[in-house]
Chain A
Amino acid sequence: MSDLTRLTAAELATALTAGEVSSVEVTQAHLDRIAAVDGDVHAFLNVDAEGALGEAAAVDAARAAGEKLHPLAGVPVAVKDVVVTKGQVTTAGSKILEGWVPPYDATLVTRLRQARMPILGKTNMDEFAMGSSTEHSAYGPTRNPWDLDRIPGGSGGGSAAAVAAYEAPLAIGTDTGGSIRQPAAVTGTVGVKPTYGSVSRYGLIALASSLDQAGPCTRTVLDAGLLHDVIGGHDPRDSTSLPEPAPSYADAARQGAAGDLQGLRVGVVNELGGEGYDPGVRDAFQKALDTMVAAGADVVEVSCPSFSAALAAYYLILPSEASSNLAKFDGMRYGLRVEPSEGPVTAERVMAATRGAGFGDEVKRRIILGTYALSAGYYDAYYGSAQKVRTLIQRDFAAAFEQADVLVSPTTPTTAFPLGSKLEDPLAMYLNDVATIPANLAGVPGLSLPSGLSDDGLPAGIQILAPARQDARLYAVGAALEALLLQQWGGPLLAHAPELAVAR
C-alpha cells in the first residue's frame, strides 16, 4: 500500500479489518512521518514509539488469533498533552509539570486503550490550554503545516497540526472556548466540540470546568464521528457527564454523506460574521452556505444579541475557574518545586516561588484576573454578571434553534496569522475565539470543517452548531456539506497544502 499516512481513519480501519495492512505497519508509518516532519511542525511534546508499536503488535496478534476487535483497533491516535496518560509524561504545555508522569489514565484514554488504539504521543498546546496560537506552550510553538511561519491555532495547535501534517490520522483535543474548532479552521481539518457532558472530563487537566470539553481532531467528519463514538458516553467519575446513551455519530456521518440537505433550516447568526471578519473568510463561508442551499437547505437569519457580551463573560468565567483549578500547582506534591533564593523556606514561600517560576505570563495574567473577579466585593459585579450573560446566551440559542435546525458561522474571523504577530496584544488574540465561545458558554455542540481557501491561499472554516445533545445532527449535516464541497473541489482541501520538507 502506498502512503498509509494519507489514509483516513475509516480507510485504515477497513484495511486493518481486511488484513491488508498490519497495525504495526500503520503505526510505524506515522512514527516515520513524525520523525520526518515534526522537527519543523513541532506538533508533539513527546512520542511514545515503543508503547504505540507494542500496542500495535498486540492488536495484530489478537487479530491473527481471531479475536473480535473494535473497528478502530490498531488505528493510531495522538492525545493533547492536557489529558493525563498513565506512565506517560503529561505537562499541559507547562514548565510547572515538566516531567510529571501521571499514575492514572483519563477516562477517554482508558476508552482509547479499550478500543486498542495505539497512542503515538502527546501533542503540543498553549500552557494549560490558555491561548489561540500554541505560542504560549512552555516548550515552543507548533507551526502550521500550511505555512511554517504561521500559527496552527490554539490551544490545541499540536493536535490539529499533527492531523494536518499526516503525523496522525486522529487526535484528541479539548475545547474551552474554541481550542478544537479554531485550530481545525486554520489548519484545514475537522474538529468537534461535543455537547458539554458528552465526553468525560475525568483526567482532563482542568482549565475552566464548566466550559471544558474533549473532542475529536480529524481530517474528515466521519473520522470525527468514529473517534467521538470511542471516547463519548457516560462516566460515573464525572458528575457533569450526561447519563443517557448516545447514538452512533459515525452512523450519523455516514447517513449524512449522501449530501441531501432538503428541508434543513440553516440559521445564519447575524452577530457572527460581519465586522472584524476577513473578506476572504466571509467569501469561503458564503460559498459553503450557497452549496448547502443548492442541496436543498433553507437559510434563515437569526439574531443572538447577547453574543456581543460572550467574549467579556467568557474572560471572567474562565479566569475565575482557572484561578481555582490551577491553585493545586504549588510544588508540594508533584511537578516543579522551586525554593526561594533567599530568606526562609516556608511552605507559602515555596508555593510562591514555584508558581512564579513555573507559570508563563498568560497563565499568570488569567490567574490574576480570576482571583480579582472572585474577590469579596467584586464577585457579583464580575463572576455573577458573567453567569447572567451566560443564561442570556443560552436563551438566545434556545430562541435561534426554534427557527433553525443548525446554526452556522465562520469558525474564526481570520486565517492563520504569522507567529508572534499577536503575542503582545492579548485582546487581539482573544478575538480569535469570538465565534466559538458562545457554544462553550451554552454547552451546545459545534463542529468546524474546511469551508475553502481564503484569498491568501490559507484554509478557512465553517462552524456548525446544534442544540445540546444533538451532536448527531452536526455529524449528519457536516458530512453532507463535506461531501458536497469535496465534489466541488475535486478532493480534500488539505491536498492544496504545500508538501512539507522531509528530514533525513
Chain B
Amino acid sequence: MTVTFEDAITRYDPVLGIEVHVELGTRTKMFDDAPSPAGGTEPEGANELVTPVSLGLPGALPVVNGAAVEHAIRIGLALGCQIAETCRFARKNYFYPDIPKNFQTSQYDEPIAFDGHLDVELSDGTVVRVEIERAHMEEDAGKNTHVGGADGRIHGASHSLVDYNRAGVPLVEIVTKPITGVGERAPEVARAYVQTLRDIFRALGVSEARMERGNVRADINVSLRPSPDAPLGTRTETKNVNSFRSIERAVRFEVARQAEVLDGGGTVVQETRHFHEDTGTTSPGRVKSDAEDYRYFPEPDLVPIAPSREWVEEIRASLPELPAARRRRLQAEWGYADAEMRDVVNAGALDLIEATVAAGASPAAARKWWMGELARTAKAQEVALEELPVTPAAIGELQALVDSGRINDKLARQVLEGVLAGEGSPEEVVTARGLEIVSDDGPLLEVIDATLAAQPDIAEKIRGGNLGPMGVIIGAVMKATRGQADAGRVRELVMERVQG
C-alpha cells in the first residue's frame, strides 16, 4: 500500500461508526439458568456451562434474565439514553454452527435504550461528544475451533469443534450514530470512545470489561468522503477489534486503504472485514453468495419487556458516580493542574492516589510518590503501577513518617525500597533497618567531634569564620550516620563545637 494515513487524511474526511459489545457479568446467561462464563464461573472444559436452553435443544424455551435487563438499563442511563417503556426481542435467523438454534435472540427495531451520548476526552483534554443511537440486548454465540488447517482458520481445516459455554452469555450492543468532524483524530477518537465505555462498564459494575478476555469487543465502521459537506461514503465494518491499540491501527489502516481505492477511481465495497493483529491490516470477511436477509420477526417465546418508570428511576438513583464526573471532582478537591491531572489519569494512578489520600497523605504528596519514585520503579520493572507490591495504605503510612519528622525524604526512599522488597510495612522497615533520624545530640556530638578531629584543617577554617567547607563536615557526619541525622541540627552542633 502506498497511501499513508497521514496522506489520506489530507484529501478525505473520515466518518466512524462504532458498535461495542459488552458481556454482562450476570451470574447466569441471558435466557437461561446456566452459569455464565462472563459472570465468574470458569468452565473446566468445553460445553460444561450449558442447559437444554443454551444448547437450543428441541422444546427448550428462553426466559429473560432480569439482572441482565437491569444491567442494560444501567448502561443506557449512564449513556444518557431514553429507556423504552416497552420493547421486544426478535429472532435474527441465520445458519451457523456456533448459534445453537440457528437464530440469535436479539433486539431489532425495539432496543431497550436509545438516543444518548457520551463525552469522550482525548489525551490533550479535547472533549468529543459521540452520539449514541441505541443500546440493545442480545445473546452471545458459542465458539468454533477449526482443526487441521493453518492458524486455526476454517480454510483447510479437517473438522471444527464447537463450544457452547459462551452461547447465551448476555450482551449489550451499543451503536453510535455516525461520528463526523474528527478528521485526523479519528483513530484516537475511536480508541478513546471504547476506552471511556470500558471505564463506564467497570464503574457501573455491569462487566469486568476485560478486553483481553473478549468481555468488550468493538466493530469499527469507517467510510471516507471527499469533504465534510459531501454525502457519506460507502463503509466497511471491521469486526472484533479487541484491544485499544488495535482499534487505532484498524482505523488508520482502513482510512489509508479506502483512500487508495478511491484514489485509483475504484469504489469501496460495503463488506465485513477482519483485523490482523500481526500485520495491522484488514482483509475481507466471508463473502456470502446471497444478500444477507436475517428474516427478523418478534420472538414469540418471550413476552415484551416493560420496565416500569419507578424501576428505571430507582436504577437511575442508584447509579454510581461516572468516571468523568469523578475525575472532575477529584481534580477540584486535590487542586491539581489540568496537565497534572491528565498525567495521573494516563498513568492509571487515579485510584491509587485517591486511596493514598484516603490513607492520610496530602494530594501533593500522594501524587509525588505515585508519579515519581513509584512510576520510575514500575517503568524499570515493566509493570503497571497497581502491580507494584505496595499498597496505597503503605504509602500513606510512609508519608506520615515523613510528616512527623521521624524520617526525611532520603530515608523515606530507603524505607520504600524496603517495602517494595517485601520487608514489611514502612514502620517495620524503619525499625528493622534502623533508619530513624537520630534526634539525640549525644551520639551525634560524638560523631561530630570525631569528624572535626579527623579533619583539623577544615575545623580550623570554620573556626576562623570561613563557613565554606561546612558542607564537607556535615556531609561526612551524615554519611557516618547513614543519613539518619537531621542536617540542620548537625550544622548547629558543629557551630557550637567550633565556637565553644
Contacts and interface: CB of A to CB of B under 8 A. Distances in A.
B59 A383 contact: no
A100 B296 CA distance: 30
Interface string B159-172: 01010000000000
Interface stretch (B77-85, B297-305, B462-470, B480-488): B297-305
Interface stretch (A10-18, A136-144, A371-379, A412-420): A371-379
A259 interface: no
A237 B162 CA distance: 26
A371 B95 CA distance: 13
B144 to A, nearest CB: 9
A103 B301 CA distance: 21
B295 to A, nearest CB: 4
B64 interface: yes
Interface in B393-408: none
Interface stretch (B49-57, B193-201, B432-440): B49-57
Interface residues of B, number: 30
Interface stretch (B100-108, B306-314, B377-385): B100-108
A236 B96 CA distance: 29
Given A320-B297, A328-B102, A379-B297, A102 B59 contact: yes
Given A103-B52, A239-B62, A239-B303, A324 B57 contact: no
Contacts of B102: 327-328, 330
B93 interface: yes
A499 interface: no
B97 interface: yes
A348 B160 CA distance: 12
B191 to A, nearest CB: 35
Interface string A291-319: 00000000000000000000000000000
Residue in B59, B63, B101, B162 whose Cβ sees the most chain A Cβ within 10 Å:
B59
Contacts of B358: none
Nearest to B32: A237
Interface residues of A, number: 44
B300 A321 contact: yes
A103 B61 contact: no
Interface in A205-237: 205-206, 208-210, 236-237
Contacts of B302: 239-240
Contacts of A100: 58
B103 A205 contact: no
Given A327-B101, A374-B93, A201 B61 contact: yes
A97 interface: yes
B103 A239 contact: no
A68 interface: no
Contact of B59 (A84, A208, A324, A333): A84
Residue in B52, B60, B97, B300 whose Cβ sees the most chain A Cβ within 10 Å:
B300
A328 B295 contact: no
B91 interface: yes
A216 B62 CA distance: 25
B492 interface: no
A332 interface: yes
B58 A90 contact: yes
A239 B101 contact: no
B293 interface: yes
A324 B295 contact: yes
B59 A203 contact: yes
Nearest to A387: B298
Contact of A383 (B95, B101, B297): B297
Contact of A330 (B91, B93, B95, B293): B95
A351 B94 CA distance: 12
Nearest 5 CB-CB pairings of A with B = A327-B102, A374-B295, A209-B300, A210-B300, A203-B59
Given A104-B57, A324-B297, 5 more contacts: A202-B60, A205-B58, A239-B302, A327-B93, A379-B296
Interface of B: 52, 55-64, 91, 93, 95-97, 100-103, 160, 162, 293, 295-297, 300-303
16 contacts: A102-B52, A104-B57, A104-B59, A205-B58, A209-B300, A210-B300, A239-B64, A239-B303, A240-B301, A321-B300, A323-B93, A333-B55, A333-B57, A334-B57, A375-B293, A376-B293
